[in-house]
Each structure stands twice: as C-alpha cells, then as structure tokens.
Amino acid sequence: MLFSILCRYISCSLNEPVKTKMPQLNLEFQVYKLLGATNALHTMNGIPKVFHYGLAEKKYNALVLELLGPSLEDLFNICNRKFTLKTIMMIGIHTLRIIEIVHDKGIVYRDIKPENFVVGQESMKNTIYIIDFGLAKSYIDQITKKHVPYRERVNLTGTARYMSMNTHLGKEQSRRDDLESLGHMYMYLVLGSLPWQGLKVNNSKERFQKIYEIKKKTPISILCDGHPEMAEYMNYVRRLGFNETPDYVYLRNLFITALHKNGFEDDQCFDWKDKPLNSSKT
C-alpha cells in the first residue's frame, strides 16, 4: 500500500523549513524534475522547489519539498466557506497559469481539487502552488513524441466531485479534462458546494455513477447561473477535442474580464491576506 509520512524539520545544510514525504515517490520526483523544480536556481511560481530525493533512514524514499502553507480548501474554511468573486477570479487566473505550465511539459495532472493547490508561507501567501503529482501522467508518447492516442474503458482516475464528464465515461484523460475539473473546482468555490455532493449511496461505484448522472443533467446555464464568464469557460472546455491545444490566454482573459467588469484588478490581495495561516502542506 502506498502511504506517506510527513514531518517538518529544519535542514541543517539548507537552513530552510522543509517537508519530507515518504516513500515510493520516484514517479512524482520525475514529474518535478521535468518541471525544473529540482534545479537549484528554480524560481518558477506555482511549482514547489525540490530540495532532495533519495533514501531516508536506509528504509524509505524521501521527497523533500519547500514548506508551504494551507490548501485552498483550508483557506475556504478559514474564510467561513465564502470567497469573494474577486478572489475566485484571481484563483482562476493563477491556477490556469500553473496548469498551462504543467501541460507545456507534456503532463496531464488528473486530480484537480482545492486540496491540491496551496499557498506559500506567510511572506508568500499570495502565491498559489500545485502539489501532489501522484496521479499525473504524460500525454506525449515518449517514442513518437506525439499526443497519446484516444482510448476508452480506462480506469477512473481522480476525485469524482471535480472530474470531467469524459473521465466518468472511462475515456483517456488529456488537457481538456484538467481544465474541466478546474471549472468544477471554481464553481465549488463560487457556490460552496456542487449539485452532486452529499449523495446517499452504498458504494463508490454507485457514487461515481450517480455523480455522473447529476453532472449530465445539470445544464451549464444552471450550474453557472449569474456567472456568464464561468458559463463561457465551461462551454469552451467541454467542447475541446481530445488532443486539441487549449487557448489558455482566452480562458484567463475570461476571468480578467470578470475582474474588470466588477471594478477589480489582479492585485493578488486574496481574501485570506489578513488571516493568520498556521497550516502547512507538501
């Protein structure tokens, strides 16, 4: 069984707070390596810095990342489960930029959820990071260097609440699925809950099926009622082809438009700016 042990300590050699995650993390390390996070000069916003990967206590593989702050889910709760439209639109702009970076490296993330986006420690709590690449997968064939072929009847991967319609149907995931999952996450933050939450079901298979049925029956116009930019976002990502390259600039501009329309700018002053943050993630 895959498991993780998390512990905070001060690295004597680096003199920086870090998190250690063990074991069996070679795949995740390779993703971080591909993203440049193992480079000593790594400064890419949104991708945690990797300090070390290797054997710990002669027993475990350990992946040591920079110590980060609470997740978007934690922050949502800290803010009494109510984010302003400004904060949600800025979350959209910044998480889209992060996912574009991941996609540009040939990786599809496959587990979008608020728990997997965190902010930095106090001095960096206006910076959003993505963590936990355990379910990530390359969408570029390593031999042909082309997009992997479309497949059906693949195992469901991800979190049912946020996964795309095509993922529910057992279709191979690609960039479009990450973007649709982001859309579901944004609407979760807008509404506080999604129409397919809180179901009374007997097992996970039934739950996945029921969630899919409700997603299918919920028109985008109803899900995104009162939020035209979000409706436009969802309509766009659900129309994307399997190997189509998304227009990330167009999608980010939807959120920028929503900000400007309501008299705001992307100043990275999120709702949690003045909240004390004492949770940490890796």
- Residues classed as catalytic: 111
Closest CA to 33 of 94, 95, 106: 106
Give the count of beta carbons closer than 10 Å to the beta carbon of residue 252. Answer: 20
- Name the one residue in this structure whose structure tokens are 């329309």: 261
Radius of gyration of the chain (CA): 19
Partnered with residue 18 across adjacent β-strands are: 9, 66
Tell me, letter by letter, the H, E, C secondary structure of 178-201: HHHHHHHHHHHHHHCCCCCCCCCC
**Cβ contacts of 211 within 8 Å, gap of 6 or more:** 160, 161, 168, 196, 199
